[in-house]
């Protein structure tokens, strides 16, 4: 009885057993890894067929935002049912398709494949650091949430404006901000799982996937702008 009581909560108001927290974290990691497969497939299909090539400017923005919010609404509605995982994987395939336009542009550089692998490695490195920190930091990080949300909204608005402005300097500044904000979001979301604040592994995976894909895309954009080599 004593051991069971001691396995509940760690002082942040979440009455969740250590066993349940570990199960959610384990399932989240597995589903996050699985979600990368449809993303790669979608990106490959987009590059191979050029299906997203015409989605530039306002048209691309509308398609992306409309599709993303529709999928996220569907994931929220199905997260407690058997349909939750397939809907999430459908969303990650869609995100891969949307990412394919940038990947195709980077592949146009002589060192394009190297830039993509560098962005992937950098994103994996950020995730490893944040996952490690989430397991050793003892303080409650829930207060970060509102500030991170404000920061995320700011870069989203800035990104939307820059779609029409097309400033390279603004793109670089936004990319740096996205890397910082969503790296911190990664720590915040992982800490919520570790502390028992998130008990649904589909919701947890969605949050982490968005963190990862945003960091990767911003890193790729920066590398393309700063390190892209023309033939």
In a domain, residue 1? The reply is no
Domain count, the chain: 1
Contact partners, residue 202, CB within 8 Å, separation at least 6: 31, 75, 79, 84, 85, 88
| Tokens 């945003």 sit on residue | 214
In a domain, residue 7? The reply is no
In a domain, residue 142? The reply is yes
Q: Say yes or no to pLDDT of 125 above 90.
A: yes
Q: Which domain holds residue 71?
A: 15-227
In a domain, residue 112? The reply is yes
In a domain, residue 208? The reply is yes
In a domain, residue 4? The reply is no
The answer to whether 148 and 184 are in contact (CB under 8 A) is: yes
H or E segment and range at residue 78: helix 57-78
In a domain, residue 2? The reply is no
Read off the pLDDT band of 150 (50, 70, 90).
very high
The answer to whether 59 and 117 are in contact (CB under 8 A) is: no
Read off the pLDDT band of 225 (50, 70, 90).
confident
The answer to whether 206 and 90 are in contact (CB under 8 A) is: no
Model confidence, pTM: 0.88
In a domain, residue 44? The reply is yes
Distance of alpha carbon 182 from alpha carbon 211, whole angstroms: 5
Instruction: Give the mean pLDDT of the chain.
Output: 86
| Tens of pLDDT, residues 160-212 | 888 788 788 888 999 999 999 999 999 999 999 988 888 899 999 999 999 99
């Amino acid at each position: 009885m004593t051991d069971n009581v001691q396995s509940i909560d760690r002082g942040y108001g979440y009455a969740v057993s250590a066993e349940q927290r570990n199960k959610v974290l384990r399932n989240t990691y597995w589903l996050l890894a699985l979600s990368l497969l449809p993303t790669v497939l979608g990106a490959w299909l987009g590059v191979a067929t050029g299906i997203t090539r015409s989605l530039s400017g306002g048209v691309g923005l509308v398609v992306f935002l409309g599709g993303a919010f529709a999928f996220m609404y569907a994931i929220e509605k199905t997260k407690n049912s058997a349909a939750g995982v397939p809907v999430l994987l459908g969303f990650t395939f869609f995100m891969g398709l949307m990412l394919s336009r940038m990947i195709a542009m980077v592949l146009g550089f002589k060192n394009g494949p190297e830039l993509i692998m560098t962005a992937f490695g950098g994103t994996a490195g950020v995730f490893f650091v944040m996952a490690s920190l989430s397991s050793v930091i003892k303080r409650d990080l829930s207060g970060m949430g509102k500030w991170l949300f404000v920061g995320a909204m700011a870069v989203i608005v800035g990104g939307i404006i820059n779609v029409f402005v097309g400033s390279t300097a603004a793109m670089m500044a936004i990319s740096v901000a996205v890397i910082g904000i969503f790296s911190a979001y990664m720590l915040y979301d992982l800490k919520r799982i570790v502390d028992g604040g998130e008990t649904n592994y589909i919701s947890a995976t969605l949050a982490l996937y968005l963190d990862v894909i945003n960091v990767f895309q911003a890193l790729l954009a920066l590398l393309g702008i700063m390190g892209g080599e023309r033939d």
